[in-house]
Amino acid sequence: MRISWQEYALQLAEAGAARSEDPFERVGACVLREDYSVAGIGYNGAPPGIKIDWTSRDSRRERVVHAEVNALRYVRPDEGFLLACTLMPCQDCIKMAATYGIKRVYFREVYSRDGSAIELAKEFKIKLMHLPRSASQK
């Protein structure tokens, strides 16, 4: 049986996450167009030319660019319709998704530090859907 497009995008996001240097949270994201072609893939990491002290969890948070932002930088507004993330987007990434016209966001893991993203997604009419790994994928 073939995997769904949502699962396909999530697996591409997971491949992207493998590029992250962040020892605390490796996050990946993938944007699909309406024809299900890949518009962009990104992972959380340092801005180009910037060194991050990855040993300090708190100071790295101030400097890291989120996977969603890195995936969306390859996309023109309204080019993508689906964003798949290994971690539920934070409120800033939901705002970024809305700016780019994303209508659906699928994610693997719940991001418990920022519950406001759920309310923003509703307000912005973005379908936010949790799609955890199946038992056979673990």
User: Is a pLDDT exceeding 80 seen at residue 138?
Assistant: no
Structural domains present in the chain? 5-137 (3.40.140.10)
User: Is a pLDDT exceeding 80 seen at residue 135?
Assistant: no
In which band, very low, low, confident or very high, does the pLDDT at 103 lie, cut at 50, 70 and 90? Answer: very high
Tokens representing residue 126 in the block: 């973005």
Residues 6+ apart with CB under 8 A from 112: none
Residue of 7, 21, 25, 68 with catalytic role: 68
Name the burial class of residue 24, with classes exposed (0-12), middle (13-18) and buried (19+) by CB atoms within 10 angstroms of its CB. middle
This prediction has a pTM of 0.92
- Which is higher by pLDDT, 112 or 19? 19
| Mean pLDDT in residue range 27-36 | 98
Q: For this structure, is 123 an active site residue?
A: no
Residue 113 is predicted with a pLDDT of 72
